[in-house]
Amino acid sequence: MGHILVLSGAGRYADTIHDFDATSEAVSQILTERGHQVEVRRSYPEALDHLAGADLLIVNTGGGDPEEEWDYIPEWSRAHNKILEHHEAGKPILGLHTACNTFCDWELWPSILGGKWVLGTSGHPERSYAVFEPMPEAADHPILRGVEQVVVYDERYSDLDINPLATPLLFHETGEEFQPMCWVMGNSVVYDGMGHSPRSYYSASRRQLLCNEVLWLLNWKRRETAAKAAAQVTPEPTQPVL
């Protein structure tokens, strides 16, 4: 079990569409019931002062006002650097829903997360019950263990700009097009596009997905150690055929 910091949308990274307090509380309750220590902090720069002590950062923040001029704020620049330090240390990050459209004043964020919302291109149909299915090539990924599909009342983000190095896990089919909405970036970052409202977390399959994502991310060090050990194994020389 791990110490998890949930960064919840407020101030600069809130909007008028999402109730970040409510969705962050839903996430906290689910993960606390699984034995994790969860701390929810609203997204002000000082919220990240103790990020170094967290095992996992969950980003549940929004894009603010799209018409706003993103002025440079030194306190937020320092806060962004703390997230970067967390990431460069190999420690995990889970981005939820509007995490693909947050930190618009920080150009490195999309490369960390593995994708972004593109204003004027990305979108979604009206909220409804939706089915998210595993990408065939990712069906055996540990995050999808016990998750044959996710059926949830939520939004279906479409036409996101996804890094080609990301590994898509789940997609929805909308307008006869397959749209990835959950992916892994590297060894320690996951983006999960679900979570518009607390109603998203009423779904048992959606809750299972969230818990699987967190467990996989918290095991980042074990995967890293195993990969290093495998790289150091020297194959035995083969005997020449006489």
Supply the pLDDT for residue 225. 74
- Which one is predicted more confidently, 180 or 67? 180
Q: Average per-residue pLDDT in the chain?
A: 91
* 3/148 Cα distance (integer angstroms): 28
Higher pLDDT, 220 or 8: 8
Looking at residues 167-192, what average pLDDT do you find?
93
Show the domains of the chain with their CATH numbers: 3-232 (3.40.50.880)
With tokens 């103790």, the residue in question is 50
Rounded Cα distance, 186 and 90, in Å: 10
> Which stretches within the chain are classed as H helix?
20-33, 74-88, 109-113, 204-218, 220-232
CA gap 47, 57 in Å, rounded: 11
Q: Is 94 left (phi over 0), alpha (psi -120 to 50) or beta?
A: beta
pLDDT at 66: 63
For residues 23 and 200, the answer to whether their CB atoms sit within 8 Å is yes
Using one digit for the tens of pLDDT, what is the confidence trace for 115-140? Answer: 999 888 887 878 879 999 999 999 99
pLDDT above 70: residue 105: yes
* pLDDT (average), residues 83-112: 96
